[in-house]
Amino acid sequence: MKNPGKIQPPVFPPEEILFPEVKLVTLSGGVPVYTIESGTEDVVRAEFTFRAGQAREDIPLLASTVNMMLTEGSQRHSSEEISSMLDFHGSFINPYCEKDRAGFVIFFLPKYSGELLKLAREIVFEPAFPEKELRALMNKRLRWFLTNREKVQNLASDKFYESVFGNSHPYGRQTSEPDFEGISSELTRVFHKTHYNLSNLAVILSGRFRKDTIEMLEDLFSSPLTEPDLPPLAPLPEKGKGEKDIYVHKQNAVQTSIRIGSRTINKRHPDYPGLKVLNMILGGYFGSRLMRNIREEKGLTYGISSSLTSLDLSGFKVISTDVSNENRKLATDEIYMEIDKLRNIEVEEAELGIVRNYMSGEMLRMFDGPFALAESFRAAWEFGLDNDYYRRLAEKIKSITPDEIKALANTYYNIEELYEISAGDR
Amino acid sequence: MFVIYCPMIEFSRHTLGNGLRLLVHEDRSSPLVAFNLLYDAGSRDEDETMTGMAHLFEHLMFGGTEAIPDFDTPLQIAGGENNAFTKCDITNYYITVPARNIETAFWLESDRMRGLDLSQRSLDTQKKVVTEEFRQRYLNQPYGDAILRLRALAYKVHPYRWPAIGLDPSHIERASLDTVREFYNLHYAPNNAILTLAGNISTAEAYSLALKWFGDIEASPARIRKLPVEPQQSEPRRLTTESEVPSDAVYRVWHTCGRNEPDFHTLDLITDLLAGGESGRLNRILAREKKMFSDINAYVTSDIDPGLLIVNGKLMKGVDPEEALSGIEDVIRSLSGIRSDDYEFEKVRNRFESSVVFQNTSILNKAMNLSYYELLGDASKINREVEMYRNVSASDVEACLARYLTEKNSATLVYRSAIK
């Protein structure tokens, strides 16, 4: 029987990415609107984003609570009416509160632009923060919190942030049960007034939006308001906690969740594109060294990954995995061994070639379709970067050398500086 | 009236001589092609003493062949990405790759359909990986084992009694090379597979590549699938369990119809009235107004053989599970009397339609759905879904409430918190 399996088809180098054209329109009140026209389906993605994330809160839960309360009733409509209107128009809304930014993404059909943008304005600027809804939300959030605290993954991640950024800064601060009592309507109103206002708003519009969308935004998001200044950010302490190895005990857990990592540079740093390549080799894709060794060779875990996250004031890298309690030491030893190898031995060109091509393919996926385009734009824009960042990344993927990677590993993966957090039942 | 222009997904269809079905949908707006290969084999095809086989096998499919010892690397070199999942009815493998390298996907997928190099070493490793997956996703999560208990309570004979992960990790540990080979030989053949290409590729190119790479793979003998039929349930069932979770939870399930039966869309719509979006009745009445639940949800399992309608919720502190259960019952009963022209009825129709439009923004979703609808009997059903859903009337809702959502057709799981 002939076996065409032996004749591998030729592989062509990844094609050049067509970066989208992003147009900036500034509304008369000063709000920037970034537009990316794309897609084949009649759908629109509109993001309303503010510097209103956790980094801006004085007490735990405040920023996320304000964000969740946006859809819990306005001066004109009850929470039921708002959700019913969104659902009736076949629209989907994703409120988010991250470490630096908060806001929401709303997906809708262009024919309902008028109704839904009007509702978006009401959600953003006219929330009523009813006391009754606030208490109900906090009670629900407490139940979610208690459930999450039963998950070793959350215990390990929370302790990781606390260790890396310290308990005094919102990046690292932990939530505890009494915090759910500490949020009042008054606090939410004040935070809302100072953070959710026109001078702090940016809009990102993508998909097949109607020609008159900008006019609608102009009508809705330009009225002059008296705007309080954005309060200054709490400074990030220079160092995290002194203690590097922490074990969080969770009775009866059958697996231990592990986090190994530390603070690192963010997207604004010139070394960042190279560090992304290094991270990919270590644990960024299915063929990475950590996956091959710890999952595919040893069968210790369902998954292991390494990631880089950029924050406004900092950034961090972290390796995450879940293994059976008894295999914890074996897994962490192997993780350090893989880091050590990257610091001491140059990557072979064959392996680097795989990573170059895989990452180039990944970049095509990052710029495919109206939703991915908007997300990629936002991920650079919030650090003051634009398509030039992606061009540098694409260029670095092609040109990085093995000795450059080794040097990056020596600069950024100093094992003594890494925190090791485990949550499980040893 | 609310009318969405819901574009049709145009596709062409060929069947190769060996029975492989091929569907192609051109979407030139993407630089990529999605390649989706569905095998008509899932956990319902397992023996009750060897559950979890289909899913374990999915892992082994990445173990390499004689010709291509490493599946992933050549695809990564081609800039592609891939994954797979196993459900009760199907095992589905998918790849997205830059259009110019689509032939690599054909080469890789046809090769592992032709023959696998199943080694003891790879089997041993993947058994461990799957056992860790079982622990991570089902045993080491609060409420993680509820679905295992629920299926075992609702089904007595049909293999839907267990989820794709299996009944117990010990079954996976028992799997031998022989049992694994037998599973492969029985199911992994062109006549049991449906291949869909969606994205930046022409029908002619897709057809000629399919012929080139899959055309000479031999068909396997036709399978005779004789699954035990779940007998009509005649008494309500109930199970109470206690575990270290922070809150009590309740689960209610009812036996329903199969995915292809006419009542399916009505049942789907009922769950949308109950739990579609924030404004669904369960959330609005039981979570928001009565503050009995911190989370509440309802869905249909969408299985090919008669499936389940599931309602589940986590209770607020101090709420009695019995009161919570009767709250759910009252909300379900309140659906009787709804009118086809009610705002709420129109709302769930609109939401369904727009969710279809949103799904179609992804070439991978389109590829997966085309393969799946073809398995259901005809891929063009995908373009009638909105109409089928829109045709559901208030009297259909009434009839399905009476036909399926009855006490004797139900099972209840009360999941109690052992943390006091």
Sign of CA dihedral A51, A52, A54, A57: positive
The residue whose two tokens read 């215990």 is A155
Neighboring chain B residues of A39 at a CB cutoff of 8 Å: 29, 361
Q: Phi and psi dihedrals of B413, rounded to 5?
A: -120, 120
Angle, helices A113-125 vs A79-88, to 10°: value is: 150
Mutate to test the interface with A, among B145, B316, B358 (most CBs of A within 10 A): B358
What does the pLDDT read at residue A359?
Answer: 97
Mutate to test the interface with B, among A140, A209, A252, A258 (most CBs of B within 10 A): A140
What does the pLDDT read at residue A227?
Answer: 74
Count of CB atoms within 10 A of residue B391's CB? 13
What does the pLDDT read at residue B395?
Answer: 97
Could you give the ipTM of this predicted complex?
0.93
Mutate to test the interface with B, among A109, A154, A208 (most CBs of B within 10 A): A109
Whether A4 and B31 lie within 8 Å, measured CB to CB: no
Q: Is A84 on the interface with B (CB under 8 A)?
A: yes
Neighboring chain A residues of B124 at a CB cutoff of 8 Å: 299
Whether A144 and B295 lie within 8 Å, measured CB to CB: yes
* Closest residue on chain B to A142 (Cα): B294
pLDDT band at A403 (very low <50, low <70, confident <90, very high): very high
β pairing state of B410-417 and B237-243: parallel
Q: Is A323 on the interface with B (CB under 8 A)?
A: yes
Whether B246 and A140 lie within 8 Å, measured CB to CB: no
- The per-residue pLDDT of chain A, averaged, comes to 95
Q: Is A71 on the interface with B (CB under 8 A)?
A: yes
Please state the rounded mean pLDDT for residues A86-114.
Answer: 96
pLDDT band at A426 (very low <50, low <70, confident <90, very high): confident
Whether A297 and B125 lie within 8 Å, measured CB to CB: yes
The residue whose two tokens read 């950010």 is A233
The Cα of A266 is separated from the nearest Cα of chain B by a number of Å equal to: 26
Q: What DSSP state is assigned to residue A294?
A: I
CA distance B145 to A308: 32
pLDDT band at A3 (very low <50, low <70, confident <90, very high): low
* Closest residue on chain A to B209 (Cα): A9
Domains in chain A (CATH in brackets) are 23-220 (3.30.830.10), 245-424 (3.30.830.10)
Segment 217-256 of chain A within 8 Å of chain B by CB: 251-255
Whether A15 and B100 lie within 8 Å, measured CB to CB: yes
Q: How many Cβ pairs closer than 8 A exist between chain A and B?
A: 225
Indicate the pTM of the whole model. 0.95
Per the CB < 8 A criterion, the answer to whether B18 and B214 are in contact is yes
Q: Is A106 on the interface with B (CB under 8 A)?
A: no
Domains in chain B (CATH in brackets) are 12-214 (3.30.830.10), 237-340+393-417 (3.30.830.10)
Query: Is the per-residue pLDDT at A1 higher than 50?
Result: no
Task: Dig out the tokens for A116 from the structure.
Answer: 């839904």
pLDDT band at A391 (very low <50, low <70, confident <90, very high): very high
CA distance B343 to A303: 46
CA distance B258 to B237: 21
Neighboring chain B residues of A373 at a CB cutoff of 8 Å: none
pLDDT tens for each residue of A196-249: 999 999 999 999 999 999 999 999 998 766 677 888 888 999 999 989 999 999
Per the CB < 8 A criterion, the answer to whether A411 and A54 are in contact is no
Compute the C-alpha angle B115/B121/B127, nearest 5°.
95
Per the CB < 8 A criterion, the answer to whether B380 and B9 are in contact is no
Query: Is the per-residue pLDDT at A384 higher than 80?
Result: yes
The Cα of A162 is separated from the nearest Cα of chain B by a number of Å equal to: 23
Task: Dig out the tokens for B284 from the structure.
Answer: 């609005």
What does the pLDDT read at residue A2?
Answer: 47
What does the pLDDT read at residue A13?
Answer: 85
Task: Dig out the tokens for B185 from the structure.
Answer: 């030989």
Count of CB atoms within 10 A of residue A198's CB? 17
* Closest residue on chain A to B125 (Cα): A299
CA distance A355 to A398: 10
What does the pLDDT read at residue A411?
Answer: 98
The pLDDT averaged over each successive group of 10 residues in chain B (420 residues) is: 66 98 95 97 96 97 92 95 97 97 98 93 95 95 96 98 96 94 96 98 98 97 94 97 95 98 97 95 96 98 97 97 98 96 94 92 96 97 94 97 98 92
Whether A322 and B98 lie within 8 Å, measured CB to CB: no
What does the pLDDT read at residue A248?
Answer: 98
CA distance A356 to B70: 18
